[in-house]
Structures are given as C-alpha cells and as structure tokens.
Amino acid sequence: MRKMKVAVIGCGTIASSQHIGAYARNEFAEIKYLVDVRQSHVEEMAKTYNVPFTETDFRKILLDEEVEAVSICTPNDTHAPIAIACLNAGKHVLCEKPAAINLEQAVEMKKAADRNNKILNIGMVNRYNTAVNRVKQMIDNGELGKIYHVNCSFRTHRAIPGLGGPFTTKAKSGGGVLIDRGVHFLDLIFYSLSQPNVLTVTGAVHSEMAKDMKQYTYLDMWAGPPRFDGTYDVEDYVTGMMRTSGPTISLNGAWAQNIGETAMFVEFLGDKAGIKLQYGGEDFKIYSAEKGALFETMPSFPAADMFFDEIDGFLRSAMENTKDRANIDHVILTSEVMESIYKSAELGKEVSW
Amino acid sequence: MRKMKVAVIGCGTIASSQHIGAYARNEFAEIKYLVDVRQSHVEEMAKTYNVPFTETDFRKILLDEEVEAVSICTPNDTHAPIAIACLNAGKHVLCEKPAAINLEQAVEMKKAADRNNKILNIGMVNRYNTAVNRVKQMIDNGELGKIYHVNCSFRTHRAIPGLGGPFTTKAKSGGGVLIDRGVHFLDLIFYSLSQPNVLTVTGAVHSEMAKDMKQYTYLDMWAGPPRFDGTYDVEDYVTGMMRTSGPTISLNGAWAQNIGETAMFVEFLGDKAGIKLQYGGEDFKIYSAEKGALFETMPSFPAADMFFDEIDGFLRSAMENTKDRANIDHVILTSEVMESIYKSAELGKEVSW
Amino acid sequence: MRKMKVAVIGCGTIASSQHIGAYARNEFAEIKYLVDVRQSHVEEMAKTYNVPFTETDFRKILLDEEVEAVSICTPNDTHAPIAIACLNAGKHVLCEKPAAINLEQAVEMKKAADRNNKILNIGMVNRYNTAVNRVKQMIDNGELGKIYHVNCSFRTHRAIPGLGGPFTTKAKSGGGVLIDRGVHFLDLIFYSLSQPNVLTVTGAVHSEMAKDMKQYTYLDMWAGPPRFDGTYDVEDYVTGMMRTSGPTISLNGAWAQNIGETAMFVEFLGDKAGIKLQYGGEDFKIYSAEKGALFETMPSFPAADMFFDEIDGFLRSAMENTKDRANIDHVILTSEVMESIYKSAELGKEVSW
Amino acid sequence: MRKMKVAVIGCGTIASSQHIGAYARNEFAEIKYLVDVRQSHVEEMAKTYNVPFTETDFRKILLDEEVEAVSICTPNDTHAPIAIACLNAGKHVLCEKPAAINLEQAVEMKKAADRNNKILNIGMVNRYNTAVNRVKQMIDNGELGKIYHVNCSFRTHRAIPGLGGPFTTKAKSGGGVLIDRGVHFLDLIFYSLSQPNVLTVTGAVHSEMAKDMKQYTYLDMWAGPPRFDGTYDVEDYVTGMMRTSGPTISLNGAWAQNIGETAMFVEFLGDKAGIKLQYGGEDFKIYSAEKGALFETMPSFPAADMFFDEIDGFLRSAMENTKDRANIDHVILTSEVMESIYKSAELGKEVSW
C-alpha cells in the first residue's frame, strides 16, 4: 500500500497530543517533517516519533515535492497564509479549526484549494464523533420529524484560556468564545442539519469577566498562566439567534460567567422527537412518545478515536482527490455565520443574508 | 378603619382560589358583588364567602357608586372592554394578567385609567414574590455589578393548557406560551432591572406539538381535558433576543416540546456576581468570587402570600390614589415587548424601537 | 349489580381527599355511614356526598348488619382496636397505613381477620401505582436478571409533619419517618421482590432536628402549624441494612436533615439491568447494555387513580372473599421489618430472624 | 538546607505521575534510586529525572545507609514485606494506599515502624485535599454541631479497573471496590471526625457485574484492557453500616452497577448544619439555617498540589521524626474497619468491636 509523505506544521499541544500520533498510526501516511519555530522542541519530538527531518520555517517544505499533505496546527492568524502557500505549492491541507480569523481569509483559502485542485479540510473533529453521527443519522432518517428549533449552549463558569495570551488577543485569534468554542457547536449543528440556508443572524458579544485581568477569579487555567501585561480584547459571552430555511437557532456561549453551571449542549427540537446532545461526550438523550407514554432514552457509546478518523479521512480524501465531510466547502458556512454574528454585534442590529 | 366596597368580576379558577379569599381576609375590603355568567356557580360562592350580591352581567355594578374597586378575572379577550368600562365608571381596577390580548388594547386601558384618574393595576403577581424582590434589591444595591446579559427560559415538556379551548385559541388568548407564561418572565425581568429602554427585538414562534391535536401525547392536562373540535392556532414555542439600554436578553419558551426537562428560570449575568432564579420558587442561587475562591449560595425563604400582597397593594394604591409597582404604567413595557416579538416573528426579521 | 354498604370511620384528610370520593365513584359500593368524632364536620361531609347516616362513635355501626365493609382512616394508635372490633363484628376492613403502631397490634389484627374469615387490607397505595407495577412486572419477567442489592432513600430537607402533634408523638404514631414514610418504601420493595425471607436487620435512629422545637427552621409544614407545647419523641432520621434470601437492602430516611436535597427513590441493582424508581411518580429509569453500548431509558406514564384502584380492589376482594395484593398477609412483613429496625436501634446491634 | 536521600520503589503509574516529580520539586529531597523490576523502563525514567542510580531489586538499597527515606509504589500485596524490610533497615517509609491487603499485614507494618522508631506514612492523599481540610476544620470548630450520621457513596456506572488483572485478583489486591476506593472515603471520614471509636460493623459484598468477564459492557477501562484469562474474584459492590462513639455511618460502593449515575460523595449530617462533599473535588456544599431562611453555600477552591504536600509532609515528618496526619497510627483504623466489613460479609452478620 502506498504511503503519503506528510509534514506537520506547528508542533504545539494539538499536534503533539493528536495529529502526529494519528499520522504515525495510520497505514497511509509517513511523517517526513515536523515544523516548529522552536528548534529544540521539534527535534525532541522528531526523535520520539522517528521523523527524519525537522524545520523551523514551513517554507522549506514547500519545495520538497515528495510531501503531498500537511497538517497546519499553528496559531489561528497564520492559518490562511500557510494554508494558501501549501495549496499553491500543490500540497493537500488539513488545517486546524477555526479555518481562519475571519471570513475573508477563509474564502481566500477555499479559492486557493479550488484553484490548485487540492483538498483543504478543516479540523472540525466533531464530524467524527460517534454521538454526533448517530444524531445526524436519526435526523436524516426522519426520526425526529420536522426540526423547527435548535438551541445551543456553550457556557462554562470559569474557562478563559491563557488570559492575556493569543487566545484573548483578537489580532491573533479572531475573537473569543465564539470562534474558539462556538465554532464546534455551529459546525456540528450545520453538519447534522445538512446545511440549511441561513436567512437572518442577530448577535451580541460581551467582554466583561476579565476587563481587569487581575480581578478575574479562577481555579485553574488551560493554556495558562495569565499574562497580566497581555491583551484581553475578545468576547467572553456571546448570544444570538438565527432564522434558516430549516429551524430557527438560538445560542448562548460563555468562556466565563457568574453562573456556576457547565452547560455545553445542543438541543434539536423535532415535532416527532427531540434530542439533547451533551457536547464532547459519547451519549445523548432522545425524547419521544408512544401509546400514551413518554420516553427518554440515553444510549452511550465507546468513544471514537476522532482525531485518527479525521486524519484518516483527510488522507483518503487526498489520495482519491474527493471532497469529504470536513472539506472547506462544507465548513465555510460556519465561518460565514460567525462573521455575521460579529458583524451584527458591532452594528447592534440583525443582519440579513 | 374604612373598608372599600369591592366587586370581583369573573369567578373562575383564579378568582375562587386567590382573589376572593384575599379580599375576604383583607381589613380594607368588603366584597359587595361576585359577578359571573354562570348564575348558580356564583350564588354558591357568594354563600361561602358571605357576599351579599351576585350578578351575571358586570354592567350592573357600574351603576353602584358604592363599589370603588374591582378585580377582573375574566378571559383575556374581555380584559380591555371590562376594564375600560369600569374605569370610565370611576372604579379602580385590578386586572389579571396579561393586560390584554394585544398592545393596542393595553394602551387603551392605560388611557382610560389616566383619563379617569383611577388606578389600573395588572396582576403581575411575581412582583410580590419574596425571591424576586430579594433579587431586585441585590441588583439595585449594585451587588451584581453591571448586568450585561439576562437569559430566560420558560420551557416544559408537556404543559399545553386546555388543548382546543380558550388558551389555544388566538382570538381569545392573544397567543400561546409567550402571552400565557412568558408575560411573567418578561415582567419580572423588567421589574428587577428597573425598566431599561428596549432597542431591538427579534423573535420567532412555532406551533408544532399539537398540529394534529389527537397526536399530542401528555400525561395530564391543566385546564383540560382536550376539546378536539376546538382551535389550536397559537405558538407552543417561542425564541427571541433583545438589545436594551442595559443588558441583552435572550429567551426560549415552550408549553410543550420533545425535550423532557423543566427549565423555568431567569439568569442575571453581572460582572461582579450572577443570579439564577428558579421561577415561582422561594430560592435563588448567587454566584460570586472572593479571595481566589468561588462561591455558590442559595438562600430559601418561606413563601410570601403573593396574592394577598398583590391585592393589599392594590387596595392601598386605590385608597391613596398613588401608583405602585403593579401599575399599568410599569407593566405596559411587557405588552410592548410581547407585541414586538409577535411582530418580528410574523415579519421574519428584527424590529427596532 | 350488587352494591356493598360501606362505612368510613375517621373523616380527616385522607378520607375526605381520597376514600370517600373513591367509594362514591365505585359501582360496587354505597356509603351508608360517615363516622367521626367531630359531629358538625361529619354532617357537612355527609351532605356533600349524599350519605344517609353519620355517627360519632364507630361502635354504633358494628350493630348494623347491612354494613359489610369499612375503611379505617383514624389516627395510627386506633387502627388495631377499631379494625379488630369491626372484623369481630363480621365486617371486611380496609385500614390506612401503617397497619398499627407496632408489630404486636398488627399481628392481633391479622389474627382477627383469620378468625373471622374476613378480608383485612392495608392501604399500601403504591401497590396500585403504575410505575411500581411496571417495575414489578419487569422483575418478575427476569428482565433485571438476579437482583443482588436494593438501595432506598426517603430523605427530604425539611418535612416534619405537624411538629408537636400526633405525627411526632410516639404513643400516637408508633414512630417517625420510618413508620410514616419508610413503610411505603419497604412495602413497595417487598411487593416488587415477591416477599423474600429476611435474615438479618440492623438499624439506627436519630431525633436531632427538632430537639428544641422552636429552633427547627422550615419553610412550610404539612399537617402544621407546630404545637410547641406538644411532644417530639420520634426519629427524624433512620439508617439500616438488611440481608434477605434475595438481595441485601440498604436504607436511609429523613423527615428533616441539613442536606438540602430531596432524595426519594428505590434502586434495584440486577446483574442484567437496573432500575431507579423515583417514589410517587409515574416514571423510572432502566439501565441496560446491548452490543457494547449502554442504555438509559425512562418511560413516563399517565398517573393511575391509585386510591380508586385500592378501594376497588378491596371491594372486589371483600365480595369474593379472596385475598389480594394489599391483604394483611402480604403487608405484615413490612411491620415485622420496621419492628426489627426499631429493636436493633434500641439494642445498638443487629437482629437476626 | 539538608536534603534527604530518597529511593522510589515501584515506578508504575502513581510513581511516575506523582511521587517522583514531587520529590524532584521538593527542596528537602534528592532522589538517589529508582527501583523497578522493568530495567529499561526505570533507566529511562532515571534519565528524565537525573536520578543517579537504578535497581531492579529493592533489597539493594537497604544496604545503602545514605538512603533515609523511601516511597513504596508497588502492587498492594508487596506493601507489607517491602515496608517492613525498609523499616528494619532504618529507612523512613511512605507507602501507597492501601496500607496492605489485610489488617494482619498492616499491623505488622505498624509494629516494624514502632520497633525501629521510624516514620511509616500511608498515602492517604485526601488528607491533603483543600476541601477535606476545610470540612475537617468546620467540624472541629463545631460549625456543624453534633454530627449524628455520615452517609457515604463511592458508586460509578462502569469503572472496573484492569478487568482480569491485579486489581480484580484478590490475592494481589486484597479486595475490590472497598479496598481500592472505599479506603479513601473511610479514611477521610475518620480523619474529619478525629477518629471516633467503632462499636459495630455490618457489611455485605457482591461480585456480579463481571462474573462472565466477556459479558461486561463498558465504554473505556482504566488500567485496561481486560485479560479474559485472568481472575475476577473481588467485590464490585459493597454496602455497610457502622455504629461509632460519634455518628452512625452508612456506605454503598460500586465499581460497576446497572445504575447509570456517578455518586461519589460524603454527607456529614449535623444538628446545626450539614455538608455534602463531592469526592476528589475542590468544593462542597454547606446546608444551614438562619433567621427563618435556609441556606445552601458552595465554596470552590483552587486545587491543592496534594501529592506534593503529602510527600513534603512525609519528608518533614521523617526529618523531625514526629508523626503527622498520614502516619500509620492514624490510618490503621481504616484497615481495621475494612477488615470488619469483609469479615461481616463473610459471616453474614454484624461484627462487634
């Protein structure tokens, strides 16, 4: 069996915990390069995974024609330039989410993929979650009947990542809880609903919990510790409502808030049955009715190896040059909607499509 | 001490379970008339409460100058004509909620009160709930800091009242879950926030769960049983979002839905602390932070006698001819917002104020 | 169809809210007497239900041979003498729960029933609950496999009934939360398990929350208000463990406690599946496994008219003189177990059977 | 500052994830040896932590007089022989929990410590948990009043560790869920209560969920995968009740069960206030009453570095040769109680002390 030569660009947390291992275990892939600006870091990882070459500048690998596919795991603001350069150099690209820090860049990435006839997948890993796919299958089969509303919540008590760092610096990240976490929720909703047409989008954002960074109380911090001399100019709360050709959609998201509940779920309201899907889990609840009784059913499944499946899908997609579920063509709707939410928030009024 | 002579117009569930008893126990009131179209029913009640007179037509009591105040507990669609007639006849009026089946009628009622210099209170009974008032007090004291978002949910699994009857017939009720139940939630929010200016309102309504009335599965029914030859033309789901001069507000409400959770609450998100108030209860949760630790505190209070306090407040307001917290002047904002939600739902787009 | 002539002895809350109405609606019954020590109270009720005779002394009806069946709804401490007198007079008896204030009296009642060849049913109304019967059916069908443990909890935050009154006076009630509330839980467990043999019983009781009655904080009180000059000599907490020929059983019960959760449930742990039954409801959760996935299923049913069914069962049982599910023969096991728990608590050690 | 030379014996999960790092970060310690039967594994770890020596046989380090203290992180059945050998060789010992696979061995360990006048601490790491210590402090201060009952639950849906391996083989582990997980719960209870005298213990154990190992359904497995040719002869469910000189104690524990809830908590019921402590967390709920209102308060704290504190405590204890909170003298009560539960389960009756 043929093995594609692969480069992983950006060897931080997501690459080292997921991408590199997934390529290493895949029968279709052989990692030729690890690329990271931190030289000693990337050399150590190369040793662990028996990767022959390391680079500190991704442009070096553009010239190596053997490299057919790359994973981009760098900060959000570099997604577009690196992806476009790689596509222009004839590589297939799997780019971590979000596609880019704004819609304009995401569109440029899609154009580069189309122009070069290469695959551009975005790391919307929930499209490989077992529970999400079971839900989508039930919806496709009509088991929920007509879905008229979707309610989604991505709210946590205290979870601002890396306060003062790239996550909370708009120029680096493109935004806060919406682009960091909401992206997953919106994408799995549009995936499950098979991409309805969006008609109107209204939204508002708030940045309140760490206005004074030193006053922000938390128990632990992912991607921390805080950098009090850094920037905090992104939203920690977002609310919004959309009309589509299918259901209406309401959303509320919080990185941090003075409500001490974790509420991370998507509710699909159908006229025949409904589903409440806990985000990131392997189970969901189905609410139905039969013979005068009401039923609540919660199946739980073993966790899929989502990143393995995401990367396996990308490799197959690249080898056959056919677009699959994680292709930019399907994922870009999420970028469009997020752009509209930010725009509506800025204008203080609803945006029509 | 002087006792005002009072008439109760409409002696159905809410009058017999609350209003009549509350007047009977109040030192400032003496019920002179019970009025109801069902003659034997009203006579029986009059016996129980030692009320001297009964009438089947409310217009009879308009002529009795001794009657200074009336409670109106008739169906929603009769609130406006009866209230206006009573105000024009020089009576003070306490009218059950909602004020009327639409904004136009509510405005006419307010004008009649102003014109006749009489008190018109609306039965927004949550303004007398202990927990609500403690929350309002904390907000007024600045204990939550700046409130930037309010999220409200009035959703139940199966609770359509009297399927096919007046509740589900728009011409009688003015609407479904929004006007029946949302009215309480919106009113307590605006009360707690001391009436912010509304800037934009967007909303959508759905009527899906009892399109085919016989297919609607339920375990019990308030105001039931169903009348399958009746009408079901109101919403059973509503979603919406508002911008105000204070916080943004998001809402979701369901009389019935295929999500088997009861979610009846209002969340006030402040930059200093937050509150989650369970609707209709005597407790709420406060989320705060101090010295690097996070705190969740839930006080519970003995239930207030809310209807007694509502009616006592009305009687005092009438005697002194001063407007109190339940006056139409404060409550009409809720009618205005509900009108905007229905209008936005009809237009399929946001409404600006 | 023949109608049995019936007397209801004790016309307090449970008789007026349940028994009398259930007889009145039953085609096999005709209430001839209402008996209560409060003369005007019972006369008023007789008018409402068109009952021809009232008495203040139950002994009067013993002489009326037309009366074939009686319901006993008097305080716990009078159950035994009244029931035995009625059985000796040749009446069939339905006695409210608990059978008596101790085992000795319950045994005497059973002997009287046997001696006179009459039916003695105890008001274990959960034996007519839909959810309980579905659970029993699943157990009987082997759907749970081998049941090896049952855990039961009847704990509430603040629910001492009528502080200082008969409920909290041991001489009147026989005990506190165990005999008042635990009786239902134990009985439904033994009913569901088809009466296993008990081998050992250990238990402990505590009376701590209202030692100083005036210091007991509560938000409302059933059967209240408190009588501070009354008696509080019963347990407000009970814990225990049993071994049986079937599963082991653990129990914890609280009328009041400084844990603010309502925990009212029975868990049946089987090796094939398990059930968590919320007490008093119309639903339960089934936990099972299939094809590598785990399932949680919660069916909800319309509420049965449990008291109607209890009384209908009693009437049929009496007419045919055959023992049914609520017969003292099946229910006495619960009295035996409660006696053992109290005895073990007193001795400070386990009791073997 | 003096640094003690230390050896870590057994370099599996708990040593590599906790002990070794904690010693490495501690100013009073210098790791001289890592000991493990797997030679290449231990050499790799020694490189990572710059530890000068490795051994595959712990007896080698007994001869090195420079080594003053050891951590024992080997399988349960080797705790006693290794600890006793180390104590006899004049080393201070920190032994992972449980002390040993039965009481007899634990007593021998204690005797060896006493005889050699050396410190023997047991890794009861919850004694260094912030929430546990706050709870203990409140109890010590009398804030809960008289504690009359403690209810504890260590139940999970599906969490048998390493099915078929050492955890489920009695000869290696000494037992199942009680000795593996219950040990922590009992120890933190006795710690919080300052060691009451135990009077009676009754208990029962069940081994039902993996009788047929291949039929055991699970979603993931800690210390897995299953070894179907291994042994499963330990309990997966335990229930019990104790009387003490202080409160009564009830417990239920499950590694696996057909009840799909995670219930891991300890409830302390006091006559003044109560506490529900979620196991392993940084928060707890306090239930109290004041001025006619009820209060529920949940403080949350940043996680302590529990293993660092445990090892720091051990080092200080060893240097000063004074017994601290984790000394065998305080911890052995838990071994005694577990022995009684297993004995009671075997005899089918209560055990008196």
**A164-185: pLDDT as tens digits:** 999 999 999 999 999 999 999 9
B301 touches chain C (CB under 8 A): yes
Q: Are residues C200 and C285 in the same domain?
A: yes
Q: Are residues B166 and B79 in the same domain?
A: no
C295: nearest CB among A293, A298, A302: A298
- Please list the residues that pair with C289 across neighbouring strands: C294
- B192, B135 Cβ separation under 8 angstroms: yes
**Least CA distance to B302: which residue of chain D?**
D293
Q: Is D347 on the interface with B (CB under 8 A)?
A: no
Residue in C closest to B283 by C-alpha? C219
Q: In what order do the strands lie in the sheet with D67-72?
A: D53-55, D29-35, D4-9, D67-72, D92-95, D120-122
Euclidean distance between the first and the last CA atom of chain B, given in angstroms as a whole number: 47
- Residue A331 inside a domain? The answer is no
D219: nearest CB among A220, A260, A300 = A300
Asked if residue C41 is part of any domain, the answer here is yes
- Assigned domain for B290 exists: yes
For residue B98, cis peptide bond before it (omega within 30 degrees of 0): yes
Q: Are residues D279 and D181 in the same domain?
A: yes
Residue D346 shares a structural domain with residue D262: yes
Answer whether A336's CB lies under 8 Å from B186's CB: no
Is B219 within 8 Å of C303 when comparing Cβ atoms?
A: yes
pLDDT, tens digit, 9 for 90 and up, residues B240-275: 999 999 999 999 999 999 999 999 999 999 999 999
Domain harbouring C291, CATH code? 3.30.360.10
Whether residue A283 is found in the same domain as residue A183: yes
Q: pLDDT of A221-269, one tens digit each?
A: 998 899 999 999 999 999 999 999 999 999 999 999 999 999 999 999 9
C-alpha dist (Å) from residue D212 to C247, C289, D235: 20, 14, 14
d(Cα C160, Cα C257) in Å, to the nearest integer?
A: 10
In a structure prediction context, what are the per-residue pLDDT tens digits for chain D, which is 353 residues long? 689 999 999 999 899 999 999 999 999 999 999 999 999 999 999 998 999 999 999 999 999 999 999 999 999 999 999 999 999 999 999 999 999 999 999 999 999 999 999 999 999 999 999 999 999 999 999 999 999 999 999 999 999 999 999 999 999 999 999 999 999 999 999 999 999 999 999 999 999 999 999 999 999 999 889 999 999 999 999 999 999 999 999 999 999 999 999 999 999 999 999 999 999 988 999 999 998 999 999 999 999 999 999 999 999 999 999 999 999 999 999 999 999 999 999 999 999 99
Interface of C with D in 146-165 (CB under 8 A): 146, 148-149, 151, 157-158
Q: Output the pLDDT for position B175.
A: 98
Say if B289 is an interface residue toward chain C (CB within 8 Å).
Answer: no
Q: How many domains does chain C have?
A: 2
- Looking at beta carbons, which residues of chain D come within 8 Å of A159? none
Sign, CA dihedral B192-B195-B197-B200, equals positive
| pLDDT (mean) for A115-124 | 98
Set of chain B residues whose Cβ sits within 8 Å of the Cβ of C301: 219
Which residues 194-233 of C have a C-beta within 8 angstroms of B?
Answer: 219-220
Cβ pair B300:D294 closer than 8 A: yes
Tell whether A1 lies on the interface with D, counting CB pairs under 8 A: no
Closest Cα to residue A157, out of A225, A209, A205, A228?
A: A209
CA B279, CA A258: separation in Å to the nearest integer?
Answer: 19
Spell out which residues of chain D touch residue A284, defining contact as CB-CB under 8 Å.
none
Do A136 and A282 reside in the same domain of the chain? yes
Angle at C260 between CA C255 and CA C263, to 5 degrees: 60
Cross-chain residue pair D219–A260, CB shorter than 8 Å: no
How crowded is residue D45: how many other Cβ atoms within 10 Å of its Cβ?
Answer: 19
Supply the pLDDT for residue D2: 83
Structure tokens at A262: 């974790």
Burial environment of residue D247 by CB neighbours within 10 A (0 to 12, 13 to 18, 19 or more): buried
Statement to judge: residues B163 and B209 lie in one domain: yes
Q: Which two tokens stand for residue B30?
A: 């003496």
Within a domain: B331: no
- Global ipTM: 0.96
D302 and A219 in contact by Cβ < 8 A?
yes
Query: Quick one: CA torsion of B190, B196, B200, B206, rounded to 10 degrees?
Result: 0
| pLDDT value of residue D235 | 98
State the Cα angle at D220 between D218 and D222, rounded to 5°: 115
Strands B92-95 and B67-72: parallel
| Nearest to A177, CA basis, from A262, A238, A103 | A238
CB contacts under 8 A, A 248-277 vs B, are: 248, 250, 252, 254, 257-261, 267, 269-274, 276
Listed in sequence order, the residues at least 6 apart from D154 whose beta carbon sits closer than 8 Å to its beta carbon are D177, D181, D182, D184, D185, D251, D252, D253, D254, D263, D264, D279
C276 with C311, same domain: the answer is no
Residues A299 and A163 in one domain: yes
Q: Is the pLDDT of residue A20 over 90?
A: yes
Chain A touched by D301 (CB under 8 Å): yes
Q: Does D66 touch chain C (CB under 8 A)?
A: no
Q: What is the pLDDT of residues B305-325, one digit of tens each?
A: 999 999 999 999 999 999 999
Distance of CA D267 to the CA centre of its chain: 19
**DSSP-assigned beta bridge partners for residue C249:** C150, C242
Answer for the pair A4, A30: CB distance below 8 angstroms, yes or no. yes
Q: Hey, is the C-beta of A299 within 8 angstroms of any chain C C-beta?
A: yes
Query: Would residue C330 count as lying in a domain?
Result: no
Q: Residue D301: which of B283, B293, B297 has the nearest Cβ?
A: B293
D260 contacts in chain A (CB < 8 Å) = 298, 300
Quick one: D216 and D75 in the same domain? no
Tell me what the pLDDT averaged over chain B comes to.
97
Query: What's the rounded Cα separation, in Å, for the pair B344 and A344?
Result: 17
Residue D199 domain boundaries: 127-303+336-352
B330 occurs within a structural domain: no
C209 contacts D260? CB cut-off 8 A: no
Q: What is the distance between the alpha carbons of residues D312 and D125, in angstroms, rounded to a whole number? A: 12
CB of D346 within 8 Å of a chain C CB? The answer is no
Chain D nearest-CA distance from C303, in A, is 24
Element holding A277 (H helix, E strand): strand A274-278
Q: How far apart are CA A44 and CA D265, in angstroms?
A: 43
Q: Would you mind telling me the total number of residues written for chain C in this entry?
A: 353
In chain D, what is the straight-line distance between the N-terminal and C-terminal CA atoms, in Å? 47
The reply to whether C331 falls in a domain is: no
- The domain spanning residue D72 has which CATH number? 3.40.50.720
D239/C261 CB distance under 8 A? no
Rounded to 5 degrees, what are φ and ψ at D211?
-55, -45
* Residue C1: pLDDT over 70: no
Confirm or reject contact between C305 and chain B (CB < 8 A): no
Contacts 24+ apart (CB under 8 A), A109-117: A109/A79, A109/A80, A109/A83, A109/A84, A109/A328, A110/A328, A110/A329, A110/A332, A112/A83, A112/A84, A112/A87, A112/A88, A113/A87, A113/A328, A115/A87, A116/A87, A116/A88, A116/A90, A117/A321
Largest interatomic CA distance in chain B = 68
A252 forms bridges with which residues in the sheet?
A: A153, A239
State whether A132 and A269 are in the same domain: yes
Distant-in-sequence, close-in-space partners of C285: CB < 8 Å, separation ≥ 6 = C275, C276, C296, C297, C298, D260
pLDDT band at C126 (very low <50, low <70, confident <90, very high): very high
D147, D241, D258: best to mutate for the C interface, most C CBs within 10 A: D258
Q: What is the pLDDT of residue D253?
A: 98
Q: D291 in contact with B at a CB cutoff of 8 Å?
A: no
Closest CA to B242 of B284, B200, B295, B301: B200
d(C-alpha D151, C-alpha C259), whole Å: 11
**A69 band by pLDDT with thresholds 50, 70 and 90:** very high
Question: CA nearest A291 in C: which residue?
Answer: C301
Q: For residues A318 and A4, what is the distance between their CA atoms, to the nearest angstrom? A: 9
Check C297 against A302: CB less than 8 A apart: no
Q: Do B295 and D295 touch (CB under 8 A)?
A: no
Residue B194 identity: S
Cα–Cα distance for residue pair A91/A79, rounded to 1 Å:
14
How many other CB atoms are there within 10 angstroms of residue B292's CB atom?
A: 10
Q: Does residue D275 sit within a domain?
A: yes
Dihedral sign (CA A337, A341, A347, A351): positive
CA dihedral of residues C212, C213, C219, C225 (deg, nearest 10):
180
Show the tokens assigned to C99: 């059978």
Please provide the distance, in angstroms rounded to a whole number, between the alpha carbons at the two ends of chain A.
47
How far the first Cα of chain C sits from its last, in Å, is: 47
Closest B-chain CA to D301: B293
- Based on the fold, state whether residues B87 and B176 are members of the same structural domain: no
At C136, is the pLDDT very low, low, confident or very high (cuts 50, 70, 90)? very high
Give just the sign of the alpha carbon dihedral B127, B132, B136, B137: positive
The residue of chain A nearest to residue B158, with distances taken between CA atoms, is A294
Average per-residue pLDDT for chain C: 97
Would you call C301 an interface residue with chain B, using a CB distance cutoff of 8 Å? yes
* Phi, psi angles (nearest 5°) of residue C92: -80, 145
Q: Which chains sit next to B, with 3 or more Cβ pairs under 8 A?
A: A, C, D
Residues of A in contact with C300 (CB under 8 A): 293-296
Helix (H) or strand (E) holding D241: strand D237-244
Q: What pLDDT, on a 0 to 100 scale, did the predictor assign at position A144?
A: 98
Three state DSSP letters for chain B? CCCEEEEEECCCHHHHHHHHHHHHHCCCEEEEEEECCCHHHHHHHHHHHCCCEEECCCHHHHCCCCEEEEEECCCHHHHHHHHHHHHHCCCEEEECCCCCCCHHHHHHHHHHHHHHCCCEEECCHHHHCHHHHHHHHHHHCCCCCCEEEEEEEEECCECCCCCCCHHHCHHHHCCCHHHHHHHHHHHHHHHHCCCCCEEEEEEEEECCCCCCHHHCCCCCCCCCCCCCCCCCCCCCEEEEEEEECCCEEEEEEECECCCCCCEEEEEEEECCCEEEEECCCCEEEEEEEECCEEEEEEEECCCCCHHHHHHHHHHHHHHHCCCCCCEHHHHHHHHHHHHHHHHHHHHCCCEEC
Largest Cα separation within chain A, whole Å, is 68
